[in-house]
Structure 1
Amino acid sequence: MEIANHNIIVWNVRGLNIAARGAAMRSLVDDASVVCLLESKLERVDQRVIHSLLGLKFGAFVALPTHGTAGGIIVAWDSTVAMVPAFRIDQFYVMVEMVFGEGNQWTLTAVYGPTDDTLKPLFLDELRAIRAACAGPWAVAGDFNLIVEAADKSNNMINRRMMGSFRCFLNDMELKEAYWDTGHPGHLLQALSSSISDHCPLLMSTNVSFHRKSRFHFQSYWPSLPGFHDVVAGSWNSLPPKANPFVDLFLRLKATAKALTRWNQAKVGNIKEQMLLANELILCFDQAMDSRPLSSGETWLRKQLKKKVLGLASLQRTIARQKLRISWPKAGEASEAFFKIFASQRRRKNHIFRLKSGAAEATSRAGMCEMAGDYYAGLLGRPVLRQHTLRLAALELPAVDTATLETPLSETLIWNTVKDM
């Protein structure tokens, strides 16, 4: 099922009966579409309470009030993004049928399981009944107050019978933990700061697009194209020199890479698109020749397009070949597909085998290091001996005892500093 990008937050807040928690809550759920709050400890939940806790955009909600000093579930959603045609409230859960604007529909059940072991089998049976009634996708989120493994328990009071029952329930219902990294690469599940609670809220983004900035790739055929050296020289000398040679080198390389990228788009462009466009125009001229003779201008353009297709095909093959970094196939012995297949199988680390500067050539590691150092020293300059020095002792500045800086900070000092912040 294709799901649009929506942020869903599930959080055991451990009580919302403190007014100061409202501001922290609103800043956390500002970008969320659906919010599930567990253990709200609120006996009465209305629209005013929802607006004060979550903000004005959460205009719809379903709540299970608390009974006593524990429990309470709130499920709120942005009514401009999703709607809930049906919902159900029971002793341990709130179930809502979510329908988003794109037509995606699925059932969300927010649970807060009982702490009494005698009620836990009944709780699991109710969830089984919910799953049987759900025809589409089903998501369960919340605090089951059950564990799957002994390592999940903070003490040695482990009810292994209930742990086994919970495992059987998960297997029977085919429930999986939302580890989205491998099974759903477009989704994201992460824990946020616990801030106002001792439980971390979980944020699930249902369809995240990770945009990675494209890297600069130097093409070996560029130096053979007219205008390449002018672009490099112009971009390299376009920046004023910096005092720090490393910063100077970084900025010049960055400017040169940007200039070459723009120059490549203007000079070469998208080869496949150009070939498709040229072939389409040639086809139009071929169809016109069946009914009438071409004019002199059309004939000239058709010849130029055919030359263009041949040139682009040769350039495309050259690009694939230089990415492969092999030269043993002779002309006509391998197609572009061969180079692409061979390049996809290559797992070779980048390595410089030799450097050449003028007539000199270096192949050893020490020789290449010396040649590269001499080359960039000629561009960036070498450090010179200073003719003047500053004698700080002659200034007769007051002495400062720095021995205390090595003394470890005491716990009392750190705690007093934190309280004074």
Structure 2
Amino acid sequence: MALIVQKYGGTSVGDPERIKKVASRVARFRAEGHRVVVVVSAMSGETNRLIALASQISSKPSPRELDVVLATGEQVTIGLLCMAMNELGVKAKSYTGSQVRILTDSAHTKARILSIDETPIRTDLQEGSVVVVAGFQGVDELGNITTLGRGGSDTTGVALAAALGADECQIYTDVEGVYTTDPRIVSEARKLDTITFEEMLEMASLGSKVLQIRSVEFAGKYKVKLRVLSSFLEEGEGTLITVEESGGMEQPIISGIAFNRDEAKLTVLGVPDRPGIAYQILGPIAEANIDVDMIIQNVGRDGSTDFSFTIGRADYERAMEALAGVKEHIGARSIAGDTSMAKVSIVGVGMRSHPGVASRMFRTLAEEGINIQMISTSEIKISVVVDEKYLELAVRVLHKAFELENPATRGLTGAG
């Protein structure tokens, strides 16, 4: 008999019929003798509806009060799911984040989990109940309701699995697992049977929307066995996210291709080339709470430099405002910006032992006439910034160049 934590996303509980199907799935696991804790998101579209509702009252709502409003979405779902399981004759008990006492810091709308009191959950499990917990939310030391940010239900699920010492944390979503890239762009994309935490962390940080990055960090830190499955399929092994690399002759060089359309590039032109100039440019950006991704600096012969960096597109206007005062202060010639950028990344632990991965990537893009504007690398990933209009072409040609497609679509050829 295993202890399993299952998390169901908004599309999985999008309407009463889907909630009933989730209840039936959980009932089958319970009938097999497993102890089950279920974490659910708000019904599909509900969080957006609540945000829109708040915006009709205030253009800048108090983060504390916004959390109070947003947390109601998951509260509806846990009640409905318990009702559905009771109808099937399964004992079930619902908990909000504050009732479980998922203790967080006080950073409203983006709180981080500090601890979980799992005692009441263990008591209910021992009494034969299925426990249903509201994802995405917690409570701070003062008793204020907090929320964990977009995708926070994934983090709730993994954190509960870690606190309970669960045998497995299953993330049910609207896809069958983790794919080599988005199947909507590359129809030949292949579902991965396994992927390492390290690779999944890079994929999540680089634009893959399958799992929230904080949930992957949590799972890796606490060695939680994590599996991504589809809530719309009755069977399937999904994708197991694991600590171990799948070594041997079949170890692929690249596991997947991630991308992000939400990129903007800023360039401060004609900057004096002197110590501390990077801080003078990026300090105000950090003070504006804007995350910087890639950075590149080109030094000219006249003692000046052009300093470029990328940020999220939503932060573009604020970043330009922050740089307006910097321009005069440091004596820069001008500031240029471009919001039509995209980032494409290849990820794989296999590239550690395979030289020439970068050259293959760059050659493949060059052959398609795709200009690389910025490059960033780590031990297991290479990212490039390109014009957004070339994004889908870049993903397709790289997917083919690194032989990531389903073998059935390319005959019997193996890894290169």
TM-score by length of 1: 0.24
Greater strand fraction, Structure 1 or Structure 2: 2
More relative contact order in 1 or in 2 (CA 8 Å, sep 6+)?
A: 2
TM-score by length of 2: 0.24
Q: Whose radius of gyration is greater, 1 or 2?
A: 1
